[in-house]
Structure 1
């Protein structure tokens, strides 16, 4: 039975733990529930916010609309496809917790997502952001999504090409609100190959004496790295990496490294360079600094945190101050990852 709640606090529904109230909240646990919710006369014409784990969101005000909390939960390993023998396919509902889903794929002998372990959020949100970490992006394992096109009221299937993935970008970010993802299908290449080129991963495995890791060992290594470097949102409010790593052309990076020989960057296939945003912020002296109730985490300068009692305005003010420092010192602009609402 569809339940429409009114005047609901969103503090527990965002990992920053920021205060805000929604006019309406409705939990969506099936495609039918989604259609029923959108047909409710009370919600006609109201702004909509589709919410998964709330791990990529900064709430700066109350939301005078309806929050659709995605809770569609199912997991399945699809039958092998004779037309594509070099892959295994898995599908899950949009409300599946991402990390739990990755763990489950390994139990199903479907490796390939282990580098993305412990990323907060839900399966349905993963394609929107094109999540990535430790040498892998979701787009590399993506097959298709099933989504409701709110402009037509029909469910559609979007392929990898349809989604137009980019660095922390997708069709769904460029057309916000149009598509509501209800299920995601991933393609996991076979035979499996370990992705261990990222320095932290290779170092952690080497320290453990593992020369030829299996997928579970990479999963465990990534979990260990993230727990050492990043704060647990249940203990200290945050949204993970707050800024994207800026991508600059080769000439800009060469000029940067001429001024700062220790500059951290990663060469891209097209000749551009991805500069480590955390390094830029750290060099500006922000690591561990607190302004009011918001701060920069002491172990990872890329993470902004709620020290307790922070508002969305506090987080935004801190983010803008960090951006201004980096721009002034390095001439590089930082773009936030989370949605500011």
Structure 2
């Protein structure tokens, strides 16, 4: 039985802890719930906001429509062969808990993505990634309901058009589908990814002698906890900006001026520069402005200390973008979605 609530505070539904409200809110537990909901005449005409864990969202105003909270659960093996296991997961499952589920069963491919906040359904929308691994590396397919028709559709890896923190669901198909479940192809024999960031250094500090996907997961968790604030303690949405990818010629020009500028060579033509480093060089790290600010340990994270407004955080982000562009000639794109 679907229960549509009126005038609901969204404070507990977003990790920034912004106290905006929704005109209506409904929680759905199955594909059938979604299809039933979309058939309701009053619902068809309302603006809709699809919500998973609310961890990649900045509410800048009240939402004058229907918020659909996805609670679809379930993890099962779809098929298996000698080398791989295809795991089907409900869109409402907690991402980190799903990663731990896989690690505990020796299913490799997602261990570098440990402790990323949010739900499984939101992961392919953003093509989440960390420490040299992205969703697209293990993603097999997803099932979604088209909002306009209520019909189910399957999207393959290729059809999702994954890019850096990007997919078809942030572009051509934005706001057109509700993801119900996601299927991953995971490996029985792991390929370890330890070269990115501080993973190898952390493994050494932990005294790890024999590499395993659990050891990598533990190392990633340790690193993330040391750098990133817990949303349960300080409101935030993790990395607020994408790491910019710039032409190699431009990177070399910047390095000639400042030899300390870090960069990850993606190809002969493209270098990725850490956005947090750029922001820190502009003097923003640890700055506080009343109820909001830039985190003291990680300049890539904007925070709400309590009672902050979404619009204030948005304006802070715009000031940071302007200062980085003025100093380095690089435009930072946001990873967080504004509503």
TM-score by length of 2: 0.97
Matched residue, 2:151: 154
For the 8 Å contact 1:99–1:120, the answer to whether it is kept is yes
SS in 1 for 2:162: coil
For the 8 Å contact 2:60–2:310, the answer to whether it is kept is yes
SS in 1 for 2:333: coil
Query: Structure 1 CA distance, aligned partners of 2:183 and 2:76?
Result: 9
Matched residue, 1:241: 239
Segments of 4+ in structure 1 off by > 3 A? Answer: none
Residue 107 of structure 2 corresponds to residue 110 of structure 1? yes
Query: Structure 2 CA distance, aligned partners of 1:203 and 1:315?
Result: 34
1:79-98 correspondence runs (5 A): 79-81=79-81, 85-98=82-95
Q: CA deviation at 1:265?
A: 1.1
Matched residue, 1:335: 333
SS in 2 for 1:334: coil
Q: CA deviation at 1:70?
A: 0.2
Matched residue, 1:32: 32
1:266-277 correspondence runs (5 A): 266-269=264-267, 271-277=269-275
Q: CA deviation at 1:317?
A: 1.1
For the 8 Å contact 1:22–1:67, the answer to whether it is kept is yes
Residue 19 of structure 2 corresponds to residue 22 of structure 1? no
SS in 1 for 2:159: helix
1:308-323 correspondence runs (5 A): 308-323=306-321
Aligned residues: 338
Query: Structure 1 CA distance, aligned partners of 2:35 and 2:197?
Result: 46
TM-score by length of 1: 0.97
Query: Structure 1 CA distance, aligned partners of 2:195 and 2:148?
Result: 42
For the 8 Å contact 2:30–2:72, the answer to whether it is kept is yes
After TM superposition, the structure 1 stretch with the greater mean CA deviation from structure 2, 213-222 or 103-112, is 103-112
For the 8 Å contact 2:162–2:168, the answer to whether it is kept is yes
SS in 2 for 1:199: coil
Q: CA deviation at 1:190?
A: 4.3
1:188-267 correspondence runs (5 A): 188-267=186-265
Query: Structure 1 CA distance, aligned partners of 2:305 and 2:72?
Result: 32
Residue 66 of structure 2 corresponds to residue 66 of structure 1? yes
For the 8 Å contact 2:266–2:272, the answer to whether it is kept is yes
After TM superposition, the structure 1 stretch with the greater mean CA deviation from structure 2, 112-121 or 269-278, is 269-278
Query: Structure 1 CA distance, aligned partners of 2:134 and 2:217?
Result: 15
For the 8 Å contact 1:293–1:314, the answer to whether it is kept is no
Q: CA deviation at 1:310?
A: 0.5
Query: Structure 2 CA distance, aligned partners of 1:260 and 1:10?
Result: 44
Query: Structure 2 CA distance, aligned partners of 1:164 and 1:2?
Result: 33
Query: Structure 1 CA distance, aligned partners of 2:333 and 2:197?
Result: 24
Gapped runs of 5+ residues in structure 2? none
Query: Structure 1 CA distance, aligned partners of 2:209 and 2:255?
Result: 33
